[in-house]
């Protein structure tokens, strides 16, 4: 391994701001950059033609978590605006209990102290219990009725900060995969590789003899928390809640036994599969937390390819995709994508690595 692979500053690239997608394209019409994992060579394609670029008889594994409008606005009792982003996945909470201790991001962080009480939209009361690092707080929420209903009615979708606009009603559908399940509600950010799919594209995959399975990872702070140490090996990923059903585990084990490629839809699916396989020795049914940081040098146990978006410089997601091809190849691919005017990040274009 090259020591540069472990330096945070080695994961930089130049990106003109106008290539950061501020709005989604019509679903299914995005471009697709097809990358050979071994050589790093790439070809331009369209996502609607994905089926023709995938290996024969491949098994796709997608994340079916649903995004909750987890961003609430309110006021401090002493005056002044406040904002709260719930980070604790809803499956961990009794949404009808009326009270719960949770973790979230609070603004303005510097002006808030233990014991402060805030009134958020939906008549939800928030009491600050403990200030943690980087804007995170442990708080007590108190509400009347059903917490999920309150969030659905009064909450806002937490669009990433590089999208320089407020969320709209249209984002309620466009920032949600077409296969997100209501009973898997819990993410605070979308598994964005899945945003490109339509029911018609999924049917084309099945008609082409490809296979589809789903896992659940509730996207939380671990996905977007920045790396703050120059030696990335010192970065600690936050735990993430995942689910793999027995049926899905059986299908993946059978695919590996048959020599059929397993293609992850999104980095969250990669972390789910690889984390469980690493801790259990193989893919098994699983319900619980995992901690999985993938960077160059990692030996993949399960996945053979990946459908993904383009990721931020110095992010754990860029490090993950670099582990598939090698860092220098991936950075060359990104530079080429910039020259070819691909759209970047959550509402941007897609890449297939296999």
- Overall average pLDDT of the 217-223 stretch: 82
Selection from 61, 59, 55 nearest residue 272 by Cα:
61
- What percent of the chain has pLDDT above 70? 100
The yes-or-no verdict on residue 201 having pLDDT over 90 is: yes
Q: Look up tokens 């805030």; give the residue.
A: 118
* Adjacency order of strands within the sheet including 240-244: 42-46, 31-35, 350-353, 305-309, 262-265, 59-63, 211-217, 240-244, 286-290
pLDDT band at 122 (very low <50, low <70, confident <90, very high): very high
Residue 282: per-residue pLDDT: 94
For residue 238, what pLDDT band results from cuts at 50, 70 and 90? confident
What element of type H or E holds 13? none
Confidence of residue 118 (pLDDT cuts 50, 70, 90): very high
The mean pLDDT value of the chain amounts to: 95
The string of DSSP codes covering 244-308 is: E-HHHHHHHHHHHHHT--EEEESHHHHHHHHHHHHHHSS---EEEEE-----TT---SS-SEEEE
312 alpha carbon, distance to own chain's centre: 12
The predicted model gives 204-216 an average pLDDT of 98
Q: Which residues contact 91 (CB under 8 A, 6 or more apart)?
A: 185, 186, 218, 241
- Mean pLDDT calculated for residue range 56-60: 97
Count CB-CB contacts under 10 A for residue 18. 9
Q: Residue 221: pLDDT band by 50, 70, 90 thresholds?
A: confident
Give me the residues paired with residue 76 across strands: 118
The mean pLDDT value for 206-233 works out to 91
pLDDT tops 90 at residue 126: yes
For the segment 98-121, the average pLDDT, to the nearest whole number, is: 91
Percent of the chain at pLDDT > 90 equals 89
In this prediction, residues 233-257 reach a mean pLDDT of 95
What per-residue confidence (pLDDT) applies to 308?
A: 98
Helix (H, G, I), strand (E, B) or coil at 338: helix
* pLDDT of 223 strictly over 80: no
pLDDT band for 354, please (50, 70, 90 cuts).
Answer: very high
pLDDT beyond 80 at 323: yes
The four Cα atoms 70, 74, 76, 78 give a dihedral, to 10 degrees, of: 180
**pLDDT confidence bin for 279, thresholds 50/70/90:** very high
What mean pLDDT comes out for the span 105-109?
88
Strands (E), the chain: 31-35, 42-46, 59-63, 66-67, 71-76, 81-86, 99-107, 117-120, 124-131, 136-142, 185-187, 211-217, 240-244, 262-265, 286-290, 305-309, 350-353
Residue with the two structure tokens 């962080």: 109
Residue 222 is predicted with a pLDDT of 65
Which of the pair, 89 or 176, is modelled with greater confidence? 176
Shortest CA distance to 331 belongs to which of 11, 8, 109?
A: 11
Per-residue buried b or exposed e for 284-316, using 16+ beta carbons within 10 Å of the residue's own CB: eebeeebebbbbbebebebbbbbbbbbbbebbb
**pLDDT score of 193:** 97
User: Rounded CA gap, 69 and 92, in Å?
Assistant: 16
């Amino acid at each position: 391994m090259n020591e540069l692979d472990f330096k945070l500053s080695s994961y930089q690239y130049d990106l003109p701001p106008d290539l950061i997608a501020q709005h989604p394209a019509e679903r299914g019409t995005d471009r697709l950059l097809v990358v050979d994992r071994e050589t790093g060579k790439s070809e331009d394609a369209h996502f609607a033609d994905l089926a023709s670029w995938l290996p024969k008889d491949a098994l796709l594994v997608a994340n079916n978590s649903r995004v909750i409008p987890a961003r609430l606005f309110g006021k401090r009792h002493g005056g002044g605006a406040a904002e709260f982003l719930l980070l604790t996945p809803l499956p961990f909470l009794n949404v009808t209990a009326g009270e719960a201790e949770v973790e979230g991001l609070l603004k303005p962080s510097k002006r808030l102290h233990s014991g402060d009480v805030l009134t958020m939209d939906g008549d939800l009361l928030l009491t600050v219990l403990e200030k943690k690092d980087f804007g995170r707080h442990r708080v007590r929420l108190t509400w009347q009725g059903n917490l999920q209903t309150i969030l659905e009615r009064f909450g806002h979708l937490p669009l990433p900060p590089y999208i320089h606009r407020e969320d709209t009603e249209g984002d309620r559908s466009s920032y949600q995969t077409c296969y997100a399940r209501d009973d898997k509600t819990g993410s605070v950010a979308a598994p964005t590789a899945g945003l490109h799919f339509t029911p018609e594209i999924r049917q084309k995959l099945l008609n082409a003899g490809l296979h589809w399975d789903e896992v659940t990872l509730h996207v939380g702070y671990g996905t977007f928390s920045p790396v703050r140490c120059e030696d990335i090996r010192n970065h600690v990923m936050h735990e993430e809640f995942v689910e793999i059903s027995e049926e899905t585990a059986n299908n993946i084990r059978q695919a590996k036994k048959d020599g059929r490629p397993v293609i992850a839809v999104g980095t969250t699916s990669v972390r789910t599969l690889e984390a469980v396989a690493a801790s259990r020795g193989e893919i098994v049914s699983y319900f619980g937390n995992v901690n999985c940081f993938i960077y160059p040098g990692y030996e993949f146990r399960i996945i053979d390819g990946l459908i993904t978006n383009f990721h931020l410089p110095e992010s754990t997601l860029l490090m993950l995709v670099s582990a598939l091809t090698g860092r220098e190849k991936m950075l060359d691919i990104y530079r080429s994508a910039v020259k070819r005017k691909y759209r970047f990040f959550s509402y941007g274009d897609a890449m297939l690595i296999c």
